[in-house]
Structure 1
């Protein structure tokens, strides 16, 4: 069912391609989730929301491994993006991560743990304070948030904790892409006897110190997380730094 648009949404639709404008709506969850009302109140604080096809959440319709579900957020078609919040309606820990694309595009790839089949959504806040929301259903056998990490069964992981590897593409069709991998168990705290232990803050900057992106990560991000972003024009190395909720820090340089 198509719901009427507010005056602001009508003005926005006038600036969009007809196909995208036809899909724009400010009420009625396109994914028909029983929890959408709660998500709007608790996660987005009741702020104005538009379901916007320009916010793309790319994920498999069926995920065989609920502990490593690949997700890509692409909101590069939206102007003036201030922050992006990713959440999963039916996860026991709803918020997955939040990122701030300061000197890069509003694009981020990563992997997430899912406890059951759920909508995975991205809410993109633009400079006018409106949240533009996109999402997709992911079906899975579940249990991703309450299964122990592989690191918990190994005595060697502490030696490599927060070890960073990465790659930066400076030519070809993937020019400007940066990939960052960090060794970390990302324990949710939902496994008996294992407290929450996860990365909290990641900053990625260019060689001049200009921050490209800041990422706040929560427990549902998958173990040994891998992040992919687009920095645009490549000029020198990328500097990555961050910390986890126990105060362990890392710093690394990724050459082009």
Structure 2
């Protein structure tokens, strides 16, 4: 797995600076996701993923924006996917670190844009080569007669890291994009982590390109002194899945 190092290149509303990934869709992506806000191409936002996707329906990636002093929001998107947005992460009290998997339709830049406390976006990314077709293929769950009986099953593992707790969770869900013939869009659209008092720690908005049976990794500073975390997910059909995790 490898990321692309990029020196800072500053952009604002108006002329767009040269895209280090040379994507034909960068101008559209900037307008759709960053609007007129100032931005900088910045290797302080690390995007790690395979440079060539072995499985177009399960492409892992890791976003790490801990080198920035303050991160309010992280957007993850793929320039050339038919549905560009993958994730919209509000770290809150979580570390600005997130791992997940997504479906890739063709070779594309994968980007993460982190919003700092001054309203500037910091953009990192890399190219992923792929045979493609991941967004238009039906979920494997549809080949199982009883897949609905296991919908929402959640497994969680907690790991100790220096100064942090790593929480890795997986939810059984087909995550249908709506692009496979005869199968409507059906996907988890929100995931919220809370403390024991129900106060939000961090929130994740997820989109159709997130992989089937999504696997997410978050990092929680141990300095918060939490012994329990609540997890609540909701899909676009109104199904809600929740559980508590002992740290």
- The normalised TM-score by structure 1 is 0.88
Distance, in Å, in 2 between the alignment partners of 1:229 and 1:181 is 12
SS of 2:216's equivalent in the other structure is: strand
Distance, in Å, in 2 between the alignment partners of 1:49 and 1:232 is 28
* Other-structure match for 1:168: 158
SS of 2:217's equivalent in the other structure is: strand
- The normalised TM-score by structure 2 is 0.91
* 1:185 and 2:174 are equivalent in the alignment: yes
* 1:59 and 2:59 are equivalent in the alignment: no
* Other-structure match for 1:9: none
> By how many angstroms is 1:128 displaced?
1.4
Report how many aligned residue pairs link the two structures: 235
Distance, in Å, in 2 between the alignment partners of 1:46 and 1:147 is 35
* Other-structure match for 1:226: 215
> By how many angstroms is 1:172 displaced?
5.8
> By how many angstroms is 1:210 displaced?
3.3
SS of 1:132's equivalent in the other structure is: strand
* Other-structure match for 1:8: none
* Other-structure match for 2:187: 198
Q: Structure 1 unaligned runs (5+)?
A: 1-19
Distance of aligned partners of 1:175 and 1:41 in 2 relative to their CA distance in 1, 3 Å threshold? closer
Q: Structure 2 unaligned runs (5+)?
A: 11-16
Distance, in Å, in 2 between the alignment partners of 1:70 and 1:36 is 22
Q: Which residue of 221, 241, 244 corresponds with 1:250?
A: 241
* Other-structure match for 1:17: none
RMSD: 1.6
Conserved in 2, the CA contact under 8 Å of 1:167 and 1:255? Answer: no
Distance, in Å, in 2 between the alignment partners of 1:172 and 1:48 is 34
* Other-structure match for 1:34: 24
* Other-structure match for 1:13: none
Q: Which residue of 37, 58, 69 corresponds with 1:47?
A: 37
Q: List per-residue Cα deviations over 1:6-59 (Å, max 9, x = no partner).
A: xxxxxxxxxxxxxx9x91112211111111111111222232110011000110
* Other-structure match for 1:25: 9
Conserved in 2, the CA contact under 8 Å of 1:84 and 1:125? Answer: yes
Conserved in 1, the CA contact under 8 Å of 2:136 and 2:177? Answer: yes
> By how many angstroms is 1:180 displaced?
1.1
Distance, in Å, in 1 between the alignment partners of 2:24 and 2:8 is 20
Q: Which has the larger radius of gyration?
A: 1
SS of 1:129's equivalent in the other structure is: coil
Distance, in Å, in 1 between the alignment partners of 2:163 and 2:111 is 25
SS of 2:75's equivalent in the other structure is: strand
> By how many angstroms is 1:175 displaced?
4.9
> By how many angstroms is 1:173 displaced?
5.5
Conserved in 2, the CA contact under 8 Å of 1:67 and 1:114? Answer: yes
Conserved in 1, the CA contact under 8 Å of 2:163 and 2:221? Answer: no
